[in-house]
Structure 1
């Protein structure tokens, strides 16, 4: 067998959301800015993206991050996603810094502070390393804004660029529990189709179920543009739910968002005026892989089951 190409990755998950950290590949970049490189990848490396994210090597929920050197930060990240419009994810910052530190691909710093360059600017995360393991990654968002309140949903924007729609539980979904997963999936697909027909601009939409207000907790499901379920509570979702329902978190200054899979994310208020929050994430390295492309492979760039 002749191997045509080889790719080295560190696989991780953050609260159930999978990230493939790409540390070696055939992708060659030489543009001046990260945004130019991102556009170059989108235009010239669709095959490589499909190979790394699609089945049988990946799956519908897989996200990708290309690690690059940076003159502005400790390293740079280019995000790959099945949806080409998704170019930044807070969870990806935690996944990348954890994977790189725990495998020795990023030197440990005494301050535990690491700067990561993205197309959205440079973000600073705190990632203490204890006995070779990153116990938590702490970061802060930039802004959250509620931009509209309609009869059936609330419109909210993260960092001035990523718009989400927040819905209350409909009659067709008795509760956000695994036993009702078919009803949840069906509602998500129908809602996505309706939003696309109406020409609504959105990165995702959120279905929420109120919990005990005294516990400052909600349960939610976030859907992507195609109506597929995102496999974590979601950082954007958690912060926007906090912003849209501040009365639930008054007093304690913290807010917890729980997924139907049992994972949780908790945000803490930094500035009520700016709707800024801090959030702690725990990322787990699930594998270190070398993917090989063989010339005769009939599924060279994989497929997706939807």
Structure 2
């Protein structure tokens, strides 16, 4: 084997969502993280394809490039990216990066448990509790979320329903599962997928929705909801979703379905869980504190053989 390039990465999953953390990509001189972020898609196109595409990656894999901070006081800087290019912010990516760096010893543990991560969306403060050299819990604050519109009629083929539009880290279209004949369980995945395809087609061209959410809040009195979240490309988000949890909590709070003191746990179709509680409310805007834990799943070296016909990779969805 003729190895042309090699990259070392740490994979971390947060409630089922996988983040590939890269620390040894080719150096690019930048005056700021914003400049690096702007250069990233072109300068690191080969790395994106090599590390995120199959056969080394898969359609739902997220990337995190870790670099020294540009901002004074920050502990680390991160560029988030996916198969299409850079992403402004990934809450799960913050949890994954802090977990990987602390548990590998590359970030020195602080007695305060408080860390600052520089992103193109600003410096994000997070608290990471360690015990026995493991990160047991990471908490961080959401951006403001608000209801855009409720009771929006949706009609398409045999679909007659309503949707609520909520702005969080994306624009979320939230549908109530109560009117559907199936539960959010793995055995009902074909029905859930079919429903998701139909709803995405119904919304196409009408709203700039980035996420479609099926919400079961029948257990909200017990502090639990269940969701399935679809991306516009019809791919199901693997975790319960930080933004999904914030959007659904905003929707339930605005409707008076839960109290401001409620702690809400969002469970995915495969029992991954994320927790949020209201941090502050200013008029119609809500902010939340997320709680989650990351788990390192592997530390690998990925190589490029120049004779590999699949060097650019491929994606099956």
- Measured against the shorter chain, the TM-score band is over 0.9
1:17 paired residue number: 17
SS at match of 1:245: helix
1:179 paired residue number: 187
**CA RMSD in angstroms, aligned pairs only:** 1.8
The farther-off stretch of 141-150 and 186-195 is 186-195
Between the aligned partners of 1:45 and 1:157, the Cα distance in structure 2 is 30
Between the aligned partners of 2:39 and 2:66, the Cα distance in structure 1 is 15
Aligned residue among 241, 244, 256 for 2:248: 241
Unmatched segments (≥5 aa) in structure 1 = none
Deviation at 1:37, TM superposition (A): 1.2
The farther-off stretch of 179-188 and 89-98 is 179-188
**Does 2:312 correspond to 1:301?**
yes
The farther-off stretch of 166-175 and 42-51 is 166-175
> Where does 1:109-258 land on structure 2 (aligned, <5 Å)?
109-149=110-150, 150-151=152-153, 152-158=162-168, 162-169=170-177, 174-196=182-204, 198-246=205-253, 247-250=256-259, 252-258=261-267
SS at match of 2:4: strand
Contact 1:189–1:226 (8 Å) recurs in 2: no
* TM-score of the pair, normalised by structure 1: 0.93
1:54 paired residue number: 53
* TM-score of the pair, normalised by structure 2: 0.90
The farther-off stretch of 7-16 and 139-148 is 139-148
- The count of corresponding residues between Structure 1 and Structure 2 is 302
> Structure 1's 106 and 25: CA in aligned 2 closer, same or farther, altered over 3 A?
same
Which 4+ stretches in 1 moved above 6 angstroms?
none
SS at match of 2:23: strand
1:266 paired residue number: 275
Deviation at 1:84, TM superposition (A): 3.4
1:281 paired residue number: 292
Contact 1:173–1:183 (8 Å) recurs in 2: no
SS at match of 2:107: coil
Per-residue deviation, residues 172-205 of structure 1 (Å, max 9, x unmatched): 6622111110121222233333433x15212212
> Where does 1:3-82 land on structure 2 (aligned, <5 Å)?
3-26=3-26, 28-72=27-71, 73-82=74-83
Between the aligned partners of 1:94 and 1:180, the Cα distance in structure 2 is 30
Deviation at 1:169, TM superposition (A): 2.4
Between the aligned partners of 2:193 and 2:141, the Cα distance in structure 1 is 31
Between the aligned partners of 2:220 and 2:89, the Cα distance in structure 1 is 31
The farther-off stretch of 253-262 and 43-52 is 43-52
Contact 2:40–2:86 (8 Å) recurs in 1: no
